[in-house]
Amino acid sequence: MYMWLQRAVWVCVLSIGVAGTTAAQTPLKILAIGDSLMASHRISNRSISSSIRKTLRADVTDRSVLGARVIYNLPISGALGMKIGKQFRRGKWDWVVVNGGGNDLWLGCGCLRCQRKMNKLIAPGGDKGAIPKLVHKIRKTGARVVYLGYLRSPGVGSPIEHCKDEGDELETRIEKMAAADDGVLFVSLRDLVPFGDRSYHAVDMIHPSLKASREIGQRIAGAIAAQ
Give per-residue pLDDT as tens, 99-130. 999 888 877 666 777 888 899 999 999 999 99
Q: What is the pLDDT at residue 108?
A: 65
pTM score of the predicted model: 0.86
* Domains (range + CATH), the chain: 2-225 (3.40.50.1110)
Q: What is the pLDDT at residue 113?
A: 74
Q: Which residue has the higher pLDDT, 5 or 221?
A: 221
pLDDT of 87 over the 70 cut? yes
Q: Which residue has the higher pLDDT, 110 or 2?
A: 110
Q: What is the pLDDT at residue 106?
A: 76
> What's the mean pLDDT in 17-30?
67
Residue 1: which pLDDT band, with cuts at 50, 70 and 90? very low
Q: Which of 64-73, 145-154, 194-203, 216-225 ranks highest by mean pLDDT?
A: 216-225
- Percent of the chain scoring above 70 in pLDDT: 84
Q: What is the pLDDT at residue 216?
A: 98
Computed over every residue of the chain, the mean pLDDT equals 87
Give per-residue pLDDT as tens, 39-81. 999 999 999 999 999 999 999 999 999 989 999 766 554 545 6
Give per-residue pLDDT as tens, 190-203. 999 998 999 999 99
Q: What is the 3-state secondary structure (H, E, C) of the chain?
A: CHHHHHHHHHHHHHHHHHHHHHHHCCCCEEEEECCHHHHCCCCCCCCHHHHHHHHHCCEEEECCCCCCECCCCCCCHHHHCCEHHHHCCCCCCCEEEEECCHHHHHHHHCCCCCHHHHHHHCCCCCCCCHHHHHHHHHHCCCCEEEEECCCCCCCCCCCCHHHHHHHHHHHHHHHHHHHCCCCEEEECCCCCCCCCCHHHECCCCCCECHHHHHHHHHHHHHHHHCC
